[in-house]
Structure 1
Amino acid sequence: MNMHVEALSSSLCLLLIILSHFTTPSISALESFIFVGCSQLRYDVGTPYESNVNSVLSSLVNSASFSNFNNFKISVPGSTPSDVVYGLFQCRGDLSNSDCHECVVNAVSRLGSTCVGASGGALQLEGCFVRYDNTSFLGVQDKGVVFSKCGPSVGSDPDMWTRRDGVLSYLTAGGQYFRVGGSGQIQGMVQCVQDLSMSECQDCASEAIQRLKSECASSAWGDMFLGKCYARYSERGYSSKSGNDEEVEKTLAILIGLIAGVAILIVFLAFLSKLFEGKGGK
């Protein structure tokens, strides 16, 4: 009997080990590059402005540990008004604090290496957006197109277009800085930078969705990134998991099923053993 219990205990321990391994979140997909832009203006090494840039980027990284959005105005001692640096980060609304932090760390690192010496820069990854500049953009509406891309045309598919338009109409309703919706295989997403008011967010998102419908009219997927918001739709949808996580989940389900089956068998054998021992005693 003790042997069976020990075997069951070992199986459960194995299950916990497997769970701890496969449920560790992977953020490789969240770090997929979308776009970057650097200011033409430059700053000199060793100036107060460089110190302000470094300070604002460090502040973004630190703040991302406990929030999915924040903005800063940095001016170290000795700075003049022209040395002030403004910065913000915005993580996707479905990210955990840990994933947000990792994404911002990656974004700041890439931005620092791509926009070396630039007085301003902006970088968008799949999971987060980071920007800094010497001109205040905080709380300022910006509906200019920064990046757009449409997938391949799928020809005539009335059902798909109906579903796509329905999803985008749902997203247009707004009322949130981050909103997702789906119909069948079609999933969509809109997000605003949270320095906008809700009405400004609604206005920006509506503009992004209209442009998306116009430019990607017959495409299987489409992305429309404006200065302070974006709208997207896809047949595959969007997830905070990496591309391999779906296969991992299938593998995990199989393993859990096998281990559960073994556990049930052990319990059954233990019951039979106890039953036969009882009869032998009589």
Structure 2
Amino acid sequence: MAHLLLLLLFLSFSLLPLLSLSATDTFVYGGCTQLRYSPNSGYESNLNSLLTSLVNSATYTSYNNYTFQASTPQDALYGLYQCRADLSMPDCATCIARAVTQLGALCSDTCGGALQLEGCYVKYDNSTFLGVEDKTVVLKKCGPSVGYEVEAMARRDAVLAAIVGSSGAYRVGGSGKVQGVAQCVGDLSGSECQDCVGEAIGRLKSDCGTADFGDMFLGKCYARYSTHGPPVFSKAHHGKPFFTTTTTAISLINLVVTVRRHLRL
């Protein structure tokens, strides 16, 4: 056990240059289910296949979902990922690789987990959630109140109204320094997305009041605004990826899986 802990410590330092954070890689929220799977089970095998598939797929499309059927219900697995629609494909792949490695460490041995970074989202579970609308509040964050500045609040309300009135899974708007963005997970229908975005923006306005910024993440969509200039979520990040190749990303995933197995021994 001691030499494995030393190995983990060495790896954490040796990978720092590769894992340097960018705006798209910033942690927003994460969570795990309480149900755990058995080591070396069919579920573990499906999960390892899913994580690899997510990283591979993110090199050429910004959204995908997977279903792994099994001979027993407890080994079935459902998963998806999604990148913010303004990201380039290299940045999308980088973000998903980062999310997968974080989620593997955060939710070790659990049957379900979800992780939201600034630029992407990953979720998996043994109970199907694909195509199911979910307006549960997952994260709410409101900035400090700026008081009722008539112009700023009028611009904010107009921007949020325009986002509600537009269509598509990804929506952005702005007026002066006021910026807003909303996005639905790709498995929702158009009407479900509209319903979810409307709920998120309604909650933003009622819960955040005159805050200078607000974030409202629901189970299948989010809406955000800022009154003080372009926030990080309104711009694509085109920095150098911390993973230079998809092969490197998958190798790191395999390494995390291997170390987790040894720590159980």
Q: Does 1:71 align with 2:65?
A: yes
Residues 91, 238 of structure 2: 8 Å contact kept: no
Could you say which structure has the larger radius of gyration? 1
| Aligned AA (2:149) | D
CA distance in 2, matches of 1:164, 1:118: 40
Q: Which residue of 2 aligns with 1:267?
A: none
Q: Deviations for 1:221-256, whole angstroms, at most 9, x for unmatched residues? A: 00000000000001232222389xxxxxxxxxxxxx
CA distance in 2, matches of 1:75, 1:97: 29
Pick from 229, 234, 258 the counterpart of residue 236 of structure 1. Answer: 229
Which sections of structure 2, spanning at least 5 residues, go unmatched? Answer: 1-19, 240-265
Q: What does 1:21-60 align with in structure 2 at a 5 Å threshold?
A: 28-60=22-54
Residues 183, 221 of structure 2: 8 Å contact kept: yes
CA distance in 2, matches of 1:240, 1:32: 14
| Aligned AA (1:80) | T
CA distance in 1, matches of 2:46, 2:216: 31
Q: Which residue of 2 aligns with 1:98?
A: 90
Residues 115, 121 of structure 1: 8 Å contact kept: yes
CA distance in 1, matches of 2:73, 2:238: 43
Residues 37, 110 of structure 2: 8 Å contact kept: yes
CA distance in 2, matches of 1:162, 1:74: 48
SS in 1 for 2:66: strand
1:175 shift after superposition: 1.2
| Larger helix fraction of residues | 1
CA distance in 2, matches of 1:195, 1:126: 19
| Aligned AA (2:39) | V
Residues 142, 211 of structure 2: 8 Å contact kept: yes
Q: What does 1:1-282 align with in structure 2 at a 5 Å threshold?
A: 28-75=22-69, 79-234=71-226, 235-237=228-230, 238-241=234-237
CA distance in 2, matches of 1:174, 1:32: 28
Q: Deviations for 1:82-104, whole angstroms, at most 9, x for unmatched residues? A: 21110000110101111100000
Instruction: State the 4+ residue runs in structure 1 displaced beyond 6 angstroms.
Output: none
CA distance in 1, matches of 2:188, 2:175: 29
CA distance in 2, matches of 1:51, 1:42: 14
Identical pairs, percent:
56
Which sections of structure 1, spanning at least 5 residues, go unmatched? Answer: 1-25, 244-282
Residues 28, 242 of structure 1: 8 Å contact kept: no
CA distance in 2, matches of 1:145, 1:41: 22
CA distance in 2, matches of 1:44, 1:117: 8
CA distance in 2, matches of 1:149, 1:121: 21
Residues 64, 97 of structure 1: 8 Å contact kept: yes
CA distance in 2, matches of 1:89, 1:174: 24
Give the TM-score normalised by the residue count of structure 2.
Answer: 0.79
1:217 shift after superposition: 1.0
Residues 90, 129 of structure 1: 8 Å contact kept: yes
1:29 shift after superposition: 0.3
| Aligned AA (2:138) | V
SS in 1 for 2:61: coil
Residues 143, 207 of structure 1: 8 Å contact kept: yes
SS in 2 for 1:241: coil
Residues 88, 238 of structure 2: 8 Å contact kept: no
- More displaced, 106-115 or 54-63? 54-63
Give the TM-score normalised by the residue count of structure 1.
Answer: 0.74
